[in-house]
């Protein structure tokens, strides 16, 4: 019996009369037409968004810039803009003269040393040499005889260096990864205790020119594996001293970058992240004695997000700018490195610093990006700011309620502000950096031809999370020919990896989600609890809990969407994802089969014990506990309900293919039916064009209840 629902609602600004609502179930002819219509739209929208972006080329004096602008039929013109007046001149030829391609790309510097990069001492007098795993020094030029080294034990070979520093190294456990003090008085080096890195393998089955599969192997750390350790030691070149550095055993990552202090060439700081991601320290060590003290010692019961730790050292004052979520939000702090104490929070408030663009030590200012500062706006939208080290004189450079990207002039006196949302095309403005004031409107994207195709822009939507209080943000994509009197199945695009947030915030003229919707689906995406860029409490939901994947929030969000738009059918919900999203997609059928009915899971990290060490220990913790197995899709494969398509590339070097194969093994052993696509030669992927076709056909069959067109017919 077909269930009917009577509705009166307003959709896309148009009121609808009261009519019966029935599920959308196309006939074979209907779905064939839908495929043709989707293919037509895929093609028709190409090139219909005009003036979509600006890639500026700045004059070295920052007085002007030019960019290449694409209009109708992809005809290019060149636009030159005078900064003082905002005057635009359009021409057919590229402007002449010297220009700077300034992308303002920011990358946080590494906190880890490049080993053995400074063999010769800064004063040029000594060179580090290695023999049988031990360190020695040789003069770079004839010099007066150095002080006699300490007596060597009987049988020791001391002829290979003018001064022997170590005698307990071996070829198996050598010394290495050294670093000189700026005044050449001290050498810091590490006694290295290597751990064997185990390998993973895969088989290339279809290589041309051979009838045999080829096995490929590579080193691959998995959670719980042993890691190489580095024991930090410091050697006094003049004093002939040697000492272990207190707290200098590095058993996670590699040797840290050393920061020698200006007030004393015998003092240096280094950073130490404990394995398990629950403790981070900045330690100051005395090269004369090896003693150390903690300037910063952050500990947490959940995790410290190591990849987002930001530190900036100011040698002239001994200060450190340091990031932390210790007060519940990701913020910047000014630390007195001399006293080992926090002087003040630089960026206070219930919002999130997203990145640091630059530090102006002379003006004592931080230029940074943040989100969530503005009331009544999507808290993921990125805005740009400037603030003093003391947390005062905040300057907002991007007032518009949108997602922003700035391009500064070479002297940073002006900038181009490009902003948009998923349903509002980009706008380009020229602003003064001093106070953020607007100089001129540079341009805006033109989407009239795009909208003329009949396509619908993604719709932002907000609903409450599992707690009934926290807002969950997402988007929904509707078919171009949507009939509000029908009820359409839902397909969720899922990626719940805790390392970031994933819902698009900038203008999205086309995507797989929009294309898939044209077949007769409501395609949605949202960021549930456990993902990043919100509060620490929001993020902490993922801790030792990747099985959760924010599903209670996602389900509540989709139900709220259906409450607003009755043409959303929550009785037919599918889900797809890749990598961590593949893990999540299968998890939907294992742990929430009452809601999700079909899933396509591509190259999923289905067992966190099989996947890469650095990613999984960050969120699941170390040592490896029972919760790893308890939350594994492999362990829980017996729970499968609903329709499942697994996709894996046989040459995946990100997530080992056996992560999927072990799920397959358990599904077969428990007599579960499913579909499997193995793509020969393919790496970490959603299956490529063929896999995406399979995905479409799979959802058409299992959510719309009709066979897709026969692709084998000519």
Residue 7's pLDDT band, with cuts at 50, 70 and 90, is very low
238 three-class SS: coil
How high is the pLDDT of residue 615? 97
Segment 129-158 shows an average pLDDT of: 70
Given CA atoms 257, 263, 264, 267 in this order, what sign does their dihedral have? negative
Rounded to 5 degrees, what angle do the CA atoms 667, 498, 577 make? 45
Judged against a pLDDT cut of 50, whether residue 333 lies above it is answered with yes
Split at pLDDT 50, 70, 90, the class of 92 is: confident
Is 142's pLDDT higher than 90?
A: no
Task: For residue 264, name the pLDDT band (cuts at 50, 70, 90).
Answer: confident
- The rounded percent of the chain whose pLDDT value lies above 90 is 86
Q: Are 634 and 678 in contact (CB under 8 A)?
A: no
Asked if residue 6 has pLDDT above 50, the reply is no
Q: Which of 101-105, 233-237, 553-557, 567-571 has the lowest mean pLDDT?
A: 101-105
Structure-model confidence comparison of residues 23 and 18, the more confident one: 23
The pLDDT score that the predictor gives to residue 121 is 95
Predicted confidence band of residue 161 (pLDDT cuts 50, 70, 90): confident
For the cut 80, the answer to whether the pLDDT of residue 109 exceeds it is no
Q: Is 147 a residue whose pLDDT tops 60?
A: no
| Per-residue 3-state assignment (H helix, E strand, C coil) for 549-593 | CCHHHHHHHHHHHHHHCCCEEEEEEEEEEECHHHHHHHHHHHHCC
| Cβ pair 71, 77 in contact under 8 A | yes
Q: Is the pLDDT of residue 145 over 70?
A: no
d(CA 69, CA 78): 6
- pLDDT value at residue 408: 96
Q: Which domains does the chain have, with CATH numbers?
A: 5-46+454-703 (3.40.50.1820)
What's the pLDDT score for residue 603?
A: 98
DSSP 622-640: SS--HHHHHT-TTTTGGG-
283 SS3 class: strand
Token output for 460: 């932002």
Confidence band of 13 (pLDDT split at 50, 70, 90) = low
Instruction: Give the mean model confidence (pLDDT) for residues 198-208.
Output: 96
Reduced to 3 states (helix: H, G, I; strand: E, B; else coil), residue 23 is strand
- What is the reported pLDDT for 707? 96
Confidence of residue 86 (pLDDT cuts 50, 70, 90): very high
Nearest to 602 by CA among 646, 644, 634: 646
Write down the mean pLDDT value for the chain: 93
Confidence band of 192 (pLDDT split at 50, 70, 90): very high
Nearest-CA neighbor of 532 among 648, 380, 422? 380
Contacts of 506 (CB under 8 A, 6+ apart): 403, 405, 420, 421, 422, 426
Distance CA 233, CA 653 (A): 36
Residue 3 has pLDDT above 60, yes or no: no
User: Which whole number is the average pLDDT over 59-73?
Assistant: 92
Contacts of 143 (CB under 8 A, 6+ apart): 125
- Taking residue 35's Cβ as centre, other Cβ atoms within 10 Å add up to 17
For the chain, percent of residues with pLDDT exceeding 70: 92
336: three-class secondary structure by DSSP: strand
139 torsion bin: left (phi>0), alpha (psi -120 to 50), beta (else): beta
Residue in the structure block whose two tokens are 């089969």: 593
Please report which residue ranges of 352-479 form alpha helices under DSSP H.
Answer: 448-452
pLDDT in tens, 667-677: 999 999 999 99
Question: CA dihedral in degrees (657, 658, 664, 665; nearest 10)?
Answer: 160
Distance CA 189, CA 233 (A): 5
Q: What is the pLDDT of residue 117?
A: 56
pLDDT of residue 149: 53
When computed from its CA atoms, the radius of gyration of the chain, rounded to whole angstroms, is 30
The 10s digit of each residue's pLDDT in 394-449 is: 999 999 999 999 999 999 999 999 999 999 999 999 999 999 999 999 999 999 99
Kindly report, residue by residue over 642-689, the tens digit of the pLDDT.
999 999 999 999 999 999 999 999 999 999 999 999 999 999 999 999
Beta bridge partners of 163: 137
Separation of alpha carbons 714 and 707, rounded Å: 17
Predicted confidence (pLDDT) at residue 11 exceeds the cutoff of 90: no
The owner of tokens 């303002």 is 104
């Amino acid at each position: 019996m077909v269930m009917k629902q009577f509705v009166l609602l307003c959709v896309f600004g148009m009121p609808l009369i009261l009519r019966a609502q029935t599920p959308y179930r196309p006939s074979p002819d209907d779905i064939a037409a839908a495929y043709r219509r989707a293919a037509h739209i895929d093609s028709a929208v190409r090139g219909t968004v005009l003036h979509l972006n600006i890639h500026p080329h700045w004059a070295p004096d920052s007085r002007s810039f030019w960019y290449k602008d694409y209009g109708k039929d992809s005809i290019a013109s060149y636009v030159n803009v005078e900064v003082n007046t905002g005057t635009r001149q359009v021409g057919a030829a590229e402007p002449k003269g010297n220009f700077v391609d300034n992308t303002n790309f920011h990358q946080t510097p590494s906190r880890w040393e490049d080993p053995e990069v400074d063999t010769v001492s800064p004063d040029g007098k000594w060179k580090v040499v290695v023999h049988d795993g031990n360190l020695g020094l040789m003069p770079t030029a004839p010099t007066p005889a150095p002080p006699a080294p300490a007596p060597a034990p009987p049988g020791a070979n001391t002829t290979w260096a003018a001064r022997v520093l170590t005698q307990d190294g071996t070829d198996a456990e050598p010394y290495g990864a050294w670093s000189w003090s700026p005044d050449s008085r001290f050498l810091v080096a590490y006694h290295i205790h290597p751990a064997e890195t185990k390998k993973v393998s895969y088989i290339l089955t279809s290589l041309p020119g051979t009838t045999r599969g080829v096995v490929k192997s590579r080193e691959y750390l998995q959670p719980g594996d042993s890691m190489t350790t580095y024991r930090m030691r410091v050697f006094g070149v003049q004093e002939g001293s040697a000492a272990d550095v207190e707290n200098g055993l590095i058993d996670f990552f590699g040797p840290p970058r050393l920061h020698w202090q200006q007030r004393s060439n015998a003092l240096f700081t280094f950073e130490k992240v404990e394995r398990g991601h629950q403790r981070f320290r900045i330690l100051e060590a005395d090269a004369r004695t090896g003693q150390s003290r903690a300037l910063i010692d952050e500990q947490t019961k959940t995790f410290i997000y190591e990849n987002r730790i930001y530190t900036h050292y100011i040698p002239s004052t001994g200060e450190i700018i340091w990031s932390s979520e210790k007060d519940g939000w990701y913020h910047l702090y000014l630390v007195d490195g001399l006293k080992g104490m926090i002087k003040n929070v630089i960026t206070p408030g219930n919002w999130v610093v997203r990145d640091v663009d630059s530090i102006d030590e002379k003006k004592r200012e931080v230029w940074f990006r943040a989100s969530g500062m503005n009331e009544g706006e999507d808290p993921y939208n990125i805005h740009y700011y400037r603030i003093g080290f003391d947390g005062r004189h905040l300057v907002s450079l991007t007032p518009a309620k949108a997602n922003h990207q700035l391009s500064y002039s070479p002297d940073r006196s002006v900038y181009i502000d490009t902003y948009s949302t998923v349903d509002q095309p980009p706008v380009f403005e020229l602003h003064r950096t001093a106070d953020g004031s607007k100089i001129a409107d540079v341009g805006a994207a033109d989407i009239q031809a795009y909208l003329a195709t009949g396509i619908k822009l993604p719709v932002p939507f907000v609903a409450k999370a599992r707690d009934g209080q926290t807002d969950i943000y997402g988007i929904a994509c509707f078919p171009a020919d949507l009939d509000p009197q029908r009820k359409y199945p839902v397909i969720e695009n899922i990626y719940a990896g805790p390392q970031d947030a994933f819902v698009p915030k900038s203008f999205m003229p086309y995507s797989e989600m929009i294309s898939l919707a044209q077949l007769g689906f409501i395609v949605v995406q949202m960021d549930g609890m456990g993902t990043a860029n919100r509060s620490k409490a929001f993020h902490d939901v993922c801790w030792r809990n990747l099985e959760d994947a924010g599903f209670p929030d996602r389900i509540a969000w989709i139900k709220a969407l259906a409450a607003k738009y009755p043409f959303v059918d929550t009785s037919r919900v599918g889900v797809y994802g890749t990598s961590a999203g593949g893990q999540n997609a299968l998890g939907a059928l294992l742990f929430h089969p009452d809601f999700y009915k079909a899933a396509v899971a591509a190259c999923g990290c289905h067992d966190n014990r099989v996947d890469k060490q650095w990613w999984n220990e960050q969120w699941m913790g170390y040592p490896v506990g029972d919760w790893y197995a308890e939350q594994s899709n492999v362990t829980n494969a017996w729970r499968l309900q609903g329709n499942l398509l697994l996709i894996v590339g046989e040459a995946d070097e990100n997530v080992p293919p056996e992560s999927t194969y072990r799920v397959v093994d358990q599904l077969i052993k428990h007599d579960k039916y499913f579909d499997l696509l193995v793509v020969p030669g393919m790496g970490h992927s959603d299956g490529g064009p063929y896999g995406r076709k399979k995905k479409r056909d799979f959802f058409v069959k299992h959510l719309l209840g009709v066979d897709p067109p026969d692709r084998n017919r000519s």
